[in-house]
Amino acid sequence: MVEVTASATNQIVEYFKGKEIVPIRIFINEGGCGGPSLAMALDEQKTTDDVFEIDGFTYIVDKQFMEKAKPIKVDFLPNGFKLDCAIKFSSGCSSCGTTGSCCSD
- Looking up residue 42, the CATH number of its domain turns out to be 2.60.300.12
Number of structural domains (the chain) is: 1
Question: What is the spatial distance between Cα 70 and Cα 84, in angstroms, rounded to a whole number?
Answer: 9
Work out the number of other CB atoms within 10 angstroms of the CB of residue 53: 10
Q: What is the mean pLDDT of residues 68-90?
A: 90
Phi and psi angles of residue 11, each rounded to the nearest 5 degrees, phi first: -70, -40
Question: What is the spatial distance between Cα 99 and Cα 6, in angstroms, rounded to a whole number?
Answer: 40
Residue 57 lies in domain:
2-84
Within-domain flag for 93: no
Within-domain flag for 7: yes
Q: Which of 30-34, 65-69, 82-86, 93-97 has the lowest mean pLDDT?
A: 93-97
pLDDT at 57 over 50: yes
In residues, how long is the chain?
105
Strands 49-54 and 24-29: unpaired
Q: What is the mean pLDDT of residues 10-31?
A: 94
Output the average pLDDT for the chain: 86
